[in-house]
Amino acid sequence: MDVREYSEKVKAQLLEVESESIINITACQEEIAELYTELSTSNQILYSLESMLTKFQKDLGNISTEIKSLQEQSQCMSISLKNRKNLDNQLNTYLDKITLSPKLIDNICNKEIDEEFINYINELREKLTFFKNDGKINTEHGEVFALSMQEILPELRRLNTKAASKIRIFILNLIQSLNKPKANFQVLQETKLIKYKNLLLYLRENSSESFIEICMNYNDILSGLYLNHFKVYSSSIKKMIKEDSSRYDLICFEHIDNKNTYVHGFDIKNRLVLLENLENIDPIVSHVAKKENKKYYIEEIFHSIFRILSDICTFNFLFVVDFFNMRPDQYQPIFGEIFTKTFQLIIDTLTSMLSGTYDLIGLFLILRINSAFQAVVEKRGLFIMNAFFEKVRIVVWPRLQCLLDNVLREMDLAKYLKTNDVSIHAVTKRFTQFVMVLHKTSPTDDMCRQRFSLFKKSYINLLERISNSINDGKNQMVFMINNLDYFLNEFQKANVVLYGEFALIENDFHSFVENFIENQLNEIFREIMMFRIEDNDAKSIEILLHDFNSNWKRRLEIIETIEKDLFVSENTQKDVLKRTNTKLLMKYSDFVDQVKKQHPQLSKIVVSVHSLMAEIQR
């Protein structure tokens, strides 16, 4: 097919399609007209909706404005309501505070005081507090009461006067009831008085004269009660003192028997248990102890008194702070006199009991107990007893010093103590017992330590005076060594550390040991100990060596025998012998070195240091 034919064919087809399209359009003309009509109707509807929505939007804007207005009105009304309620509450409170109901007046004036009465007093107290603090109006002319308050104020004052008078009489009677015979006033305080502490608070705020009167009355009543209680107790308990000590409890006295090594007054026994269980050991029940015919050491008596006194002072302090509604620091100025007479009674009792005692241990323990209880009550926050504890020290120390001075004086004055025995003297055993007491019972303050240092010097002087009665100088040193060694060993066995000047006794001991060793070696190995190479020629040194070689072993045996015989303690025997041999070896070694250096031809006859050492160690 050529192009022309194909073109004609396509053209014919296009005409055919065009004709069909015209026919189809003509057939759909009515439908298109209907569709146009429907579109027009839809447009009108949409225009109508748009108008409606625009109007609705405008209406919504108006509603939002109205809602905001309503919210503002609601907030204003809420504030107004709150203010009205606050005002109503204030008015109710004000009216409640400034009005006195007939029931309140009748109950306060006519009702007996009980727990319900306290509620009425609390109500009245609130009204009075309101009048004092909240009911005044500040003006340019000063503080004034509202007219309504001015009308009720006279009645309120009269009711306050009536209530204060009624409470005053009631509380005074309660306090007076503590003074009844055989009444357990501490139980009454805990069970009866404490219930009415709010009444005292009322008086404190609204009737200071009545409050002060009650405080003074409480002071007087309790002061007398405590005084009588301790007067009866102390007079009963002081008859139970066990006295093991006497004026003869001394370290030494003239013509002392060397067998008399034990001092009753220096025997601690189990008396330190009291210090270890200060707050756990119960006080002595006097009537039970009397019935059982028991006896107690003086420190047990005063432990019992101090324990009861500390507990009562603590109880009264806590009760007063609670009952009288006051701060702890207000106690001393107002109620500090309650125990003044009781404290003085105990001080007087202590003074009279100590005037005739020779119980050194008891006096030391009283000081320790006194300090311990002071620490206990201070831990409880109670400082009103500090002056009392200080007075106890002032009373105890003079008697204690007197007894210590007696012991010291007898040591210094002892003149006729003689011995021929180098073993432990009775004086040392008694002195050791005495110093053990000082270390275990005495306080640790400087005053004690300084005073005790005098005893060390006196003891050494006493031993030296006794040793002077021994003719032999070496034995004098042995006597000193044995006695000082016993003293040190006793403290070591007891696991007690020596303090102060007493610790220096060990230096004295070693000094005497060194002197003894020097003396011993100078006596037995004199030629070696005193040798000077420049003072000897070869011939004299040769003679010296031959003499040494002939008997050096025997001389070592003599040293060992002497030292075993002289020293009491086996450990000291070994120690002194070891130190003696060590010093001999050092001196002999030096001697050998000098001989070999100056006279080498004599080396063949010199006993070697090794041989000497081997013999010592054998």
Pair 211, 203: CB distance under 8 Å: yes
Pair 509, 456: CB distance under 8 Å: no
pLDDT at 146: 59
pLDDT at 309: 94
Question: Which residues make beta-bridge pairs with 296?
Answer: 241
pLDDT at 480: 93
pLDDT at 93: 66
Where are the chain's structural domains? Answer: 3-98, 115-136+150-229, 235-505, 525-617
Closest among 232, 185, 218 to 342, alpha carbons compared? 232
Beta strands in 530-584 (DSSP E): none
E strand or H helix that includes residue 217: helix 208-237
Distance CA 534, CA 11 (A): 165
pLDDT at 413: 83
Q: What is the pTM for the complete model shown?
A: 0.77
pLDDT at 8: 79
pLDDT at 426: 86
C-alpha neighbours within 13 Å on the C-beta side of residue 25: 6
- What are the 10-residue block averages of pLDDT along the chain, 618 residues in total? 75 81 78 80 85 81 82 85 78 62 79 84 78 59 57 77 88 89 83 88 88 92 92 89 80 64 79 86 87 89 93 92 89 88 94 89 91 92 90 92 88 79 88 88 73 85 89 90 93 88 89 92 86 80 85 88 88 91 90 85 84 83
Distance CA 46, CA 25 (A): 29
Closest among 353, 502, 513 to 436, alpha carbons compared? 502
Structure tokens at 242: 């066990």
Residue with tokens 């009665």: 469
The dihedrals phi and psi of 588, each to the nearest 5 degrees, come to -70, -40
Distance CA 230, CA 309 (A): 9
Residue with tokens 């298109």: 32
Burial class (CB in 10 A: 0-12, 13-18, 19+), 276: exposed
Distance CA 563, CA 582 (A): 15
pLDDT at 1: 57
pLDDT at 393: 93
The dihedrals phi and psi of 459, each to the nearest 5 degrees, come to -65, -45
